[in-house]
């Protein structure tokens, strides 16, 4: 089973539990914190992916980092560590955020650009995505200079890659295949 499917299953289970406990917004806030912390900390990502580090050590570190989180969030972290799936914690958190936003009738669009978007461009993109999805949309802009130019748009499970880096990779593939 792919990590993406596993992450989606964990996220759905956590969302169902959060709905039952009426804690969806609190857990979503924790998930945003998890995504931000893991994204910003390379050492943490490496520690989580390292099979040599004991599960008990990983659990201790993660519980200290995310101390004060909702009981559901803490339970998710402990479950992933116990099942040796802690490496997908970031993906589970992202999937949870997407599912919870969809439950509220909102979509979360991740837009990756080479330079930060200005307000005018953000409003234009927001208008386009809203007309396509039919839902209220929130944009989260990430800057990644490695895409060179253009953008990568992800809404739910759909992704549109209009980056210069992607186009260059496609050209490279075409040239190597035609030799």
d(CA 77, CA 38): 13
Instruction: Identify the CATH class of 106-178.
Output: alpha beta
Task: Give me the residues paired with residue 108 across strands.
Answer: 138
Q: Are 122 and 141 in contact (CB under 8 A)?
A: yes
Q: Are 147 and 114 in contact (CB under 8 A)?
A: yes
Is the domain spanning 3-101 CATH 1.10.520.20? The answer is yes
pLDDT tens digits, one per residue of 81-120: 999 999 999 999 999 998 998 888 888 888 999 999 999 9
More confident residue, 28 or 155: 28
pTM: 0.69
Number of CB atoms found within 10 A of residue 128's CB: 13
pLDDT tens digits, one per residue of 126-167: 998 888 888 888 898 988 999 999 999 988 778 899 999 999
pLDDT score recorded for residue 1: 45
Q: SS3 for 155? A: strand
- Reported as a pLDDT band with limits 50, 70 and 90, residue 44 is very high
The first and second tokens of residue 172, run together, are 């490279």
Kindly list the domain boundaries of the chain, sorted by start residue.
3-101, 106-178
Taking all residues of the chain, what is their mean pLDDT, rounded to a whole number? 91
């Amino acid at each position: 089973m792919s990590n993406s499917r596993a992450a989606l299953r964990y996220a759905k289970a956590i969302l169902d539990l959060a709905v039952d406990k009426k804690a969806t917004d609190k857990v979503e806030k924790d998930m945003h914190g998890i995504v931000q912390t893991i994204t910003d900390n390379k050492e943490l990502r490496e520690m989580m992916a390292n099979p040599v580090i004991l599960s008990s050590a990983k659990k201790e570190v993660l519980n200290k980092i995310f101390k004060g989180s909702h009981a559901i969030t803490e339970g998710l972290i402990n479950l992933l560590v116990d099942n040796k799936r802690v490496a997908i914690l970031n993906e589970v958190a992202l999937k949870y955020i997407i599912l919870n936003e969809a439950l509220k009738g909102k979509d979360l669009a991740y837009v990756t650009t080479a330079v930060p978007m200005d307000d005018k461009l953000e409003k234009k993109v927001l208008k386009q995505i809203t007309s396509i999805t039919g839902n209220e949309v929130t944009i989260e802009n990430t800057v990644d200079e490695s895409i060179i130019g253009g953008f990568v748009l992800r809404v739910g499970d759909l992704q549109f890659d209009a980056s210069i880096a992607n186009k260059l990779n496609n050209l490279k593939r075409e040239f190597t295949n035609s030799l």
